[in-house]
Amino acid sequence: MKRTSFQYISLISFFITSLAFSVYFYQQVQIYDQKIVKSTVTDTSLPKYHFVLIGEEMNHDYWRLVGKGAKETESKYDVFVEYEGPKRSNPEEQLKLLDMAIKSKVDGIIVQALNEEFTPMINKAVSEGIPVITIDTDSKESLRTAYIGTDNYLAGQLAGKALIEDTNGKATVGIITGSFENTHHQLRVQGFRDAVAKVEGIEVVAIEESNITRVDAEEKAYTMLTENENITAFIGTSSWDGLGIVEAAKSLNKQEDLYVMAFDPLAENIDLLEKGDLDAIIEQQPYEMGYKSIEIMLDMLNGKSVREIYHTDASIIRNANLDKWKVQNGDSL
């Protein structure tokens, strides 16, 4: 073969090989690009549903558990849960958050209906096509589809029955309630009163509100104890009330003889129960409320039938079952 034809053949085969490689790599790049576009679209696409859950106070272990339960559904379902609320109990701020959720046209709202002022706002959401579930505290007269939470009247009755049992039906009682305006506190008080009403040896002599603060609970309990020296027992219907009552009793040197019940196993409440300063705690199921509220909302949106009321358990923790409770639940809320 002549040298020039050999050079031609080499050049042509080099050209063909390069062309084949270019075509091959071009195709690979195309496939890769398509994959990237596809995965970027799936990775950053928004969850199917955006829900808002509005609670009473973020700075509280009870609500942290409600939020935790709701947020944990995100790993199981195609949802984004925006969990919010005022830092400390503040109904006006809570209502503003509700209004904002309506304006942002979310797919569903879960809200604690603290008092009757929440009813028109819930109805506004529903009339604008946003389904609403109430949590922890219900607004029966509103257009909400369902309620999930404690049967607050029954929880009050449970507390009343425990007090009857623990005091052998003999007690002069003071009540500290979170707020006279808040529906769940009204129900707890009513349930308690109804349970003890039939027992002759039990009399409720005073009731005051703590405005959901420990300081007010202490102040009110102190005044009640000084004005009614014969008080032998207290119930606090909000989680901080027990702490305030115990402080007041301590400053009057009365903690030894006083029977005290409180709501919610906060770490501080469990501590007082262990020391014998608290005698009983009414426990609710905040985590379950949060988790199930999202499942109910999803069922509603997927056209499944849902019930109107989902009551979660309320039970009593006393020193006698504290160890067992700790094994089952960890230390506290």
Residue 66 or 146: which CB sits closer to ligand BGC? Answer: 66
Residue of 212, 258, 296, 333 that binds ligand BGC (CB under 6 A): 212
Residue of 64, 144, 184, 220 that binds ligand BGC (CB under 6 A): 184
Does residue number 239 form part of the binding site for ligand BGC (CB under 6 A)? yes
Q: Which stretch binds ligand BGC (CB under 6 A): 3-11, 57-65, 95-103, 214-222?
A: 57-65
Distances (CA, A) of 203 to 148, 220, 262: 32, 19, 18
Smallest distance, ligand BGC to C-beta of residue 263, A: 4
How many residues touch ligand BGC under the rule CB under 6 A: the total is: 13
Does residue number 238 form part of the binding site for ligand BGC (CB under 6 A)? yes
Report the site for ligand BGC in 272-311 (rule: CB under 6 A).
284
Residue of 137, 183, 210, 285 that binds ligand BGC (CB under 6 A): 137
Residue of 218, 241, 264, 283 that binds ligand BGC (CB under 6 A): 264
Q: Find how far residue 20's CA is from the centre of its chain.
A: 63
Q: Which residues of this protein are in contact with ligand BGC, per CB under 6 A?
A: 56-57, 60, 62, 136-137, 184, 212, 238-239, 263-264, 284
